[in-house]
Amino acid sequence: MRAMIGYLVCLIVAATVVFTFTPHPAPVVASAQLRPDRLQINGMLYLDQRVVAVGERGNILLSDDQGLSWQSAVVKPQRDLTLTALVQLSDKTLLAVGHDGWILRSADGGANWSEVRHDDEVAEPLLGIWNAGGKHVLAFGSFGKFYQSDDDGRTWQAQPLEVDSAHLNGMDGGADGRRMLVGEQGLVMRSDDGGRNWQKLPAFYNGSLFGVVRLSPDRWVTYGMRGHVFVSQNFGQSWDPVAVGNQLPLYGHALLPNGGGLLIVGAGSSVVRLDGNGHLVSASRLPGLGTLTSAVLVGSQRLLVGGERGVFQGTDGSVAALGDAK
């Protein structure tokens, strides 16, 4: 396995243990499991001093020591539903989304959560949520579900979007109004006016896309099934494939500071690093960690990744060294 040379000296891994599996600590990961309960992690967020993680069975976990120890947040009402993603709106205001159209809101930095939306009649999952700036928030998910809130997530309204009921998986954008939304069957939607109008881009891939990342107003990255990664240098007018050397699905990412590019994580403990221009730096696999679904930088250098196999700490507890991309 090729190491992530010049990038990670220490890796703290937040992942989940599947009930039918016993964790197999990797040589580069300490064997001490920090969370005794078994919980799949689907999304994480770093709030300056606190890490918030969401996952299955409606659980939300908090760490105030960069992932060394965890405690459960208070969720009311507690439901046996999977939470899929979360977003920060302000210093203290957070939102999380999940199955059955479930939306939770916290006004105290993640310690306590209250329900603002739940639809068990339709029972369709929300798969992502994105801060559109100001009091505006967008939530999206299965079968083209697309909702907007204009009051910091307190109330929500369905928005029309012509996507032929395709699942919507990822979204990104900037203050200049340029946004992209990706989903299944190679769906890529683009807006240059803050979401007032959306354009469906010509298909360049027929599989599911799980995430999209804005590196600059013109430079975007999207990734998804079978290890596919694509880079556009012209706001989605055209896309070039990035050969990562495997066919493992990619599910989540973390932006690196100071325009350093991004890390993309996925099945088989795969980690793909791109530089700020969208060029491949490395593609590796972390042994024994199973499927990784999310990643977040803690501070400027320490990385947490979340997925399916428990919570582990890096062997020496040191800070990751972010080397220059070569």
Beta bridge mates, 265: 252, 271
How far apart are the C-alpha atoms of 241 and 231, rounded to whole Å?
Answer: 6
Contact 219, 232 (CB under 8 A): yes
Q: The domain 11-314 is classified under which CATH number: 3.60.15.10, 2.130.10.10, 1.10.3210.10, 3.40.1010.20?
A: 2.130.10.10
Delimit the domains of the chain by residue range.
11-314
pTM: 0.84
Model confidence at 122: pLDDT above 90:
no
Do the Cβ atoms of 290 and 308 come closer than 8 Å? yes
| Segment 93-119 mean pLDDT | 97
Taking 90 as the threshold, does the pLDDT of residue 135 lie above it?
yes
- Compute CA 291 distance to the chain's CA centroid, rounded to the nearest angstrom: 13
CA-nearest of 191, 196, 252, 247 to 222 is 252
**How many CB atoms sit inside 10 A of residue 229's CB?**
23
Cα Rg, the chain, nearest whole Å: 18
Residue 148 has pLDDT above 70, yes or no: yes
pLDDT band at 212 (very low <50, low <70, confident <90, very high): very high
Whole-number average pLDDT of the chain: 84
Q: What is the rounded CA–CA span in Å between residue 104 and residue 85?
A: 11
Contact 50, 67 (CB under 8 A): no
Burial class (CB in 10 A: 0-12, 13-18, 19+), 124: middle
**SS3 state of residue 246:** coil
List Cβ neighbours of 150 (8 Å cut-off, separation of 6 or more).
135, 136
Structure tokens at 41: 């992690």
270-320: pLDDT as tens digits:
999 999 999 999 999 887 788 999 998 887 677 888 888 744 443 333 223
Give dist(CA 177, CA 238) in Å, integer: 20
**pLDDT, greater one: 308 or 191:** 191
Q: Encode pLDDT of 10-50 as tens digits.
A: 343 443 322 222 333 322 222 234 343 468 899 999 998 89
SS3 221: strand
74-76 sheet: strands from edge to edge: 74-76, 112-117, 103-106, 94-98, 83-88
65 Cβ contact list (under 8 Å, min separation 6): none
User: How far apart are the C-alpha atoms of 268 and 309, rounded to whole Å?
Assistant: 11
pLDDT (tens digit, 9 = 90+) per residue, 218-248?
999 999 999 999 999 999 999 999 999 999 9
